[in-house]
């Protein structure tokens, strides 16, 4: 029974980690998770390209530098707040093996390697989770 429970936990962790892209993913990896972008901007003066995806109840903006994700935002299109499970999955997807340290006062986290920050805020009336590489 313990072996079956352990296998279920491992499979669940593998599946949930693949629900969301992570910082550093390439454009092809992100397209494999979210589909083709619904819009794509031109590169700004720093070479950053912003692409918009729609996946389930999320509008997702990803900023790419040299074809790799450097910032992402996940906005709930249904206006529901993020569940603790969703937040955990988003943080886990962007952990790269490091722990996230939560600010006790806010929905704000810093990765223990100090190379990424994540936070929640309301953007245009919609709950949004943002994460960026430092």
* Residue 22 confidence (pLDDT): 87
Domain that includes residue 118, residue range:
2-133
The pTM of the full predicted model, rounded to 2 decimals, is: 0.82
**Which tokens sit at 96?**
């790269």
Task: Name 110's bridge partners.
Answer: 101, 117
Q: What confidence tens digit (pLDDT) does each residue in 18-66 have?
A: 568 889 999 999 999 999 999 999 999 999 999 999 999 999 999 999 9
Query: Do the Cβ atoms of 93 and 21 come closer than 8 Å?
Result: yes
What's the structural domain count of the chain?
1
**Whole-number Å distance between alpha carbons of 121 and 4:** 39
Query: Do the Cβ atoms of 49 and 63 come closer than 8 Å?
Result: yes
Annotate 11-75 with DSSP letters as a single string: HHHHHHHTSS--TT-BHHHHHHHH-S-SEEPPP-TTSEEEEEEEETTEEEEEEEETTEEEEEEEE
């Amino acid at each position: 029974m313990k072996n079956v429970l352990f296998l279920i936990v491992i499979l669940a962790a593998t599946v949930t980690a693949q629900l969301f892209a992570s910082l550093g993913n390439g454009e092809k990896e992100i397209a494999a998770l979210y589909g083709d972008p619904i819009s794509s901007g031109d590169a700004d003066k720093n070479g950053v390209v912003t692409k918009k995806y729609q996946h389930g109840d999320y509008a997702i903006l990803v900023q790419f530098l040299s074809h790799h994700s450097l910032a992402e935002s996940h906005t709930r299109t249904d206006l529901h707040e993020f569940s603790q499970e969703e937040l955990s999955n988003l943080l886990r997807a962007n952990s790269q093996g490091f722990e996230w340290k939560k600010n006790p006062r806010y929905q704000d986290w810093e990765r223990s390697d100090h190379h990424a920050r994540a936070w929640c805020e309301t953007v245009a009336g919609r709950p949004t989770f943002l994460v960026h590489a430092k």
